[in-house]
Amino acid sequence: MRHPILVTLFLTGAFGLAGCQNSGDNDVNRALDAVNVVDENNLGDIMLTVADPNEAVVYFTRTSAEQPGRIDLQRGLAQSLVRAQRPVEAASAWREVIKHPEATNEDRVELADALIRAGDWDGAKAALNSVPPTYETFKRYRLEAMVADASKDWKRADSFYEIAMGLTTRPAGVMNNWGFSKLTRGSYAEAERLFTDAIRQDNALFTAKNNLVMARAAQRNYSLPVMPMTQLERAQLLHTLGLSAVKQGDIETGKGLLRDAVDTHPQHFDEAVRSLAALENNVRG
């Protein structure tokens, strides 16, 4: 009579042990899943920062296909395509991101950025119009200013540039963009002031230095401004001044500036040499 009881106890114990083992396995699996997510996130961060952009595209293409519901992987793919300088594909990837139920206004701004890079100004304007006016960030207003510039809506462009400058602690890039906008409009003195301010904020911003000498040359001021510059930068800026002088019909002044560019750089400035040679050959012809 005891045997059925023993068998029952044994089976109960076995099932109990199996239950404990299954519970332990589940705990281990959950722990491993958590570790894998952490490792995957770390790998994603690496791919978005130090990895080769095209390798990052391959990684995020594969992982987002394996886990199509994860918006972070979709964002990673879109960001990697931007880094890889593949803006048309990046714009398509960002369009997929904003279809996700967890998409944010920041994602819509990133879509606008990719569309601008791809040259789709109308699309960028539509993307920005989908962002509520209460969402106020530096990048949003910087892009708004660029879109207004493209439409030659100068009043809106000036307003957006000013707002963007107030939303960043590093306004040099905005000042440079705003100055270039003024330069294209023919507002040379205002452009010169903005480029000067940009260099004051960041004296390593060569684009602003080059734009500054163009703004001065447009006013027939062919002297280099006082600002920090390397010998190579000095040669490049003299070259820009020389070409600007020639473009405005001040041929002899331009030739003198190009000669100065050649003499300034210790290894000689090949581009200035070619420009000067072409100019002298044309004059002889």
Q: Residue 251: what pLDDT? A: 93
Q: Which domains does the chain have, with CATH numbers?
A: 47-132 (1.25.40.10), 136-227 (1.25.40.10), 229-285 (no CATH)
Query: Helix H segments across the chain?
Result: 2-49, 53-66, 71-83, 87-99, 105-117, 121-129, 138-150, 154-166, 172-185, 188-201, 206-218, 231-247, 251-264, 270-284
Tell me the residue type at 92: S
H/E stretch holding 205: none
Q: Residue 282: what pLDDT? A: 67
pTM above 0.85, yes or no: no
| Packing angle of the helix pair 172-185, 154-166 (nearest 10 deg) | 170
Q: Residue 268: what pLDDT? A: 54
The per-residue pLDDT string of the chain (285 residues; one tens digit each, 9 = 90 and over) reads 444 443 333 334 444 434 444 555 555 455 444 444 445 667 778 888 867 899 999 999 999 999 999 999 999 999 999 999 999 999 999 999 999 999 999 999 999 999 999 999 999 999 999 999 999 999 999 999 999 999 999 999 999 999 999 999 999 999 999 999 999 999 999 999 999 999 999 999 999 999 999 999 999 999 999 999 999 999 999 999 999 999 999 999 999 999 999 888 856 567 777 777 777 776 554
Cβ atoms of 191 and 211 closer than 8 Å:
yes
Q: Residue 22: what pLDDT? A: 52
